[in-house]
Amino acid sequence: MIKTKNKKDKWIKLICGASNEDIVAIEDLCAIYTAAGVDYIDVAAEESIVNAAKKGIEWAKAGFKNSPGLMISISDGKDIHFRKAKFDPLKCPPHCPRPCEKVCPTFAIDNYGIKESKCYGCGRCLNSCPLNLISEYEYNLSKDDLASTLHKIKPDAVEIHTDINRIDSFRKVVSTLKSSETKLKKISISCGLNQSVNNSQGPEDLLKAIWERYEILNELNIPLIWQLDGRPMSGDLAPATSRDTVKLFERIGSDLPPGLIQLAGGTNEKTHEFLKSNNLPDGIAFGSSARKIMQPLIEFAHKNNKRLYDYPERMALAIKKAQKFLEPWKMS
């Protein structure tokens, strides 16, 4: 059954990254994409990050009359959204053409290795090194337990990153959400097929896992978003990456429990084109692809110890680029 979409339900989320602690970039990104009209912004569950995001949103709110909700990313277990990359630069041969540096969307890599604060674990560099020197490590920015984090931050929404096999820990997270009495406007559930971990998982397993989570969440009576991650944190920004996300949506989208359906994990400027116009999801979330197009502008400002909005002409250019990037979703 194909669901009929209502234009007013369509929404767009900016993903800043569950392990992203690049405060200055987050502030600028939030300002740019708030101005361009996103509906939600998803950031790491840490107070300083949330404050940076709020500053960016506030800047744009005044001139652009848009006020996106703030969502924080949490997890019910080990999850690739909560990671960073590292290598020992002393092991690099002096004449390496440095492919790792070229693929990093945040310019986090230089002769000294990977700058932790600029790495958000996108994974692009992991397979780029011919000597396999780059590895990933778990990184969770939030040092508090979930109840204290919710109490301090009071987000508009949370996104729970879960995995097919983690139903018990998912139940515990939901129970904490319930007892915290945080007034959430939405709960998003990010669950994808993590093929690198378990090749035997298929779309039917994912569907079953999502329905199990729906049964648990239903009693909270909070609007739900099912985030289908086609290629969670693959780091691949090639246009064809979107095909996995679209394929997953076409396979199980119409069988999901009540709630909004949002695509993520491999979404980019091509995603809209790959979808059938009579079967669009309720929303879309952009992470690396939204950030990559802004990075040169943001870097310019930061090298001069400023925010991008300290340069009105460049900020206007960034907003125009963001509007163009979001246009197919705004128009459909």
Position among 53, 119, 174, 246 found at the interface with ligand SF4 (CB under 6 A): 119
Rounded Cα–Cα distance for residues 259 and 9 (Å): 11
Residue 2 or 96 having the CB closest to ligand SF4: 96
Among 18, 74, 100, 298, binds ligand SF4 (CB under 6 A): 100
Q: Does 26 bind ligand SF4 (CB under 6 A)?
A: no
Query: Rounded to whole angstroms, how far apart are CA atoms 180 and 193?
Result: 30
Q: Are 284 and 267 in contact (CB under 8 A)?
A: yes
238 versus 316: smaller Cβ distance to ligand SF4: 238
Q: What would the two tokens of residue 191 be? A: 């669950």
Figure out which of the listed residues 24, 31, 129, 164 binds ligand SF4, where binding follows CB under 6 A: 129
CA distance 226 to 257: 8
* Minimum gap (Å) between residue 234 Cβ and ligand SF4: 11
Of residues 186-245, those binding ligand SF4 (CB under 6 A): 235
Give the nearer residue to ligand SF4 in terms of CB position, either 201 or 295.
295
Residue 59 makes contact with ligand SF4 by CB under 6 A? no
The stretch near ligand SF4 (CB under 6 A) out of 131-139, 179-187, 269-277, 297-305 is: 131-139
Q: Is residue 294 close enough to count as binding ligand SF4 by CB under 6 A?
A: no
125 binds ligand SF4 (CB under 6 A): yes
Pick the closer one to ligand SF4 by CB: 230 or 283.
230
Region of 7-15, 107-115, 143-151, 309-317 interacting with ligand SF4 (CB under 6 A): 107-115
- Asked whether position 40 contacts ligand SF4 by CB under 6 A, the answer is no
124 binding ligand SF4? (CB under 6 A): yes
Site residues (CB under 6 A) for ligand SF4, limited to 80-99: 85, 87, 92, 96, 98-99
Alpha carbons 66 and 247: distance in angstroms, whole number: 32
Q: Which is nearer to ligand SF4, 87 or 329 (CB)?
A: 87
Are 157 and 184 in contact by the 8 Å Cβ rule? The answer is yes
- Tokens for 307? 């925010």
Nearer to ligand SF4, 124 or 166 (CB): 124
Q: Which residues bind ligand SF4 (CB under 6 A)?
A: 85, 87, 92, 96, 98-100, 103-104, 106, 108-109, 114, 119-125, 128-129, 131, 133-134, 235
